[in-house]
Amino acid sequence: MNTPLLEPPVGAPPQDTCAIFDTNPSPAEAVERLCAHIQPTPCETVPLRAALGRCLAEPLPAPMAFPPFTRAMMDGYALRAAEVEPEAQWHVLDEVIAGQIADKPLPTHTAVRIATGAPLPICADTVLRQECAQRFGQTLRGLLPRIELGKDTEAIGSVTAVGDLLISAHSPLLPADLAKAARHGISQLSVHRPARIALLVIGNELTPAGSPLPRGHLYEHNALLIESTLDQHRLGQIIHTAAVKDDLAAIDQALSTARAQRPDLLILIGGTSVGTHDFTRRALSRHGQPLFEGVHTRPGRTACASVTNNGLVLLALPGSPKAVHALLESILLPTLRFMQGHLIP
């Protein structure tokens, strides 16, 4: 016998409805909403190597000229270009190697043996490469009919003048930027500090890799994906992680504990859907005002976010590892880049 269908009670909402996720913001709009509630992290002064991948908040001007003296760029003889002509000869006075100074002015028709990188003596303006000359004792005979003024030298300040822009703000520092800072005598930089992230991983079925796998369980791997992506891009550090059961009170409590660590951003993974044991949305609404209730994207459409009354953004990603992977690229990395002072296009 068929069970008669029950009439729904008047005024009661239907059960098992779900949010219309597709009316939600695009990933780019979601990033804008998140960033409207997030400040870039404060700056800290760190040694050059620790600044790799981080951003300056202010453009860096050159504190000194480079090169700091006019120098030879080839091994040969420092002399006056105007004296170079067919059959020209010079008396070789001295030798100057890198790190030494030839501070006596050079008399006419004299030359100084000079090493690549050594400072040019006063009154010398050019280097005649050794392969373009013949040396007999202290006498030097040139093999060129003429030479360009300044040939094979680099003038003081010709690469960088004092005050020139050395490194721009708001883009991640590359090894070449750090080397440029060191070349100008800078040993530390003021850069945005890494974002401090708290991570809650939600799900009854999750077991850490390395433990026996109970029936019906999966090995947890979203946290590692997020943590190692942050490491790879030097975009932040996880300051707090917790594994939380599918239980509203447990998630609520875990959110309070994580908030007490004062993170710059709190990320939750899992439980974002509309099933009877998905509590992430309800927990978020207890802790803040919604920024978005879903994102117009697949995979990842059940992502949602809130902001607490003291301005902490709570970002919940779907548990599906495919969705986490996609949202890392489209939402999380752009948001973290903004937090660490990158210029957002």
Interface residue list for ligand LQZAQKY5 (CB under 6 A) = 18, 21, 201, 203, 205-206, 218, 220-222, 269-274, 278, 299, 301-302, 318-321, 323
Cβ proximity to ligand MOO: between 193 and 301 the closer is 301
How deeply is 50 buried, as exposed, middle or buried, from its count of CB atoms within 10 A (0-12, 13-18, 19+)? Answer: middle
Nearer to ligand LQZAQKY5, 28 or 224 (CB): 224
Least distance CB 29 / ligand MOO (angstroms): 16
- The length of the chain is 345
Q: How far apart are CA 235 and CA 250, in angstroms?
A: 29
> What does 153 bind: ligand LQZAQKY5, ligand MOO, none (CB cut-off 5 to 8 Å by kind)?
none
Nearer to ligand LQZAQKY5, 27 or 40 (CB): 27
Q: Which residue is nearest to ligand LQZAQKY5 (CB)?
A: 319
Q: For residue 306, which phi and psi values (nearest 5 degrees)?
A: -135, 165
Taking the CB of residue 179, how many other CB atoms lie within 10 A of it? 10
Q: Is 300 in the site for ligand MOO (CB under 6 A)?
A: yes
* 25 interacts with ligand MOO by CB under 6 A: no
24 interacts with, out of ligand LQZAQKY5, ligand MOO, none, CB within 5 to 8 A per kind: none
* Choices 52-60, 104-112, 192-200, 315-323; region in contact with ligand MOO by CB under 6 A: 315-323
Which ranges in 71-201 belong to alpha helices (H)?
Answer: 175-183
8 A C-beta contact, residue 162 and residue 62: yes
- Helix 280-287 × helix 248-260 angle, to 10°: 50
Q: Is 299 in the site for ligand MOO (CB under 6 A)?
A: yes
Closest by Cα among 86, 128, 85 to 106: 128
3-state secondary structure 148-161: CCCCCEECCCCCEC
Closer Cβ to ligand MOO, 62 or 323, answer by number: 323
Instruction: Name the site residues for ligand MOO (rule: CB under 6 A).
Output: 298-302, 318, 320, 323
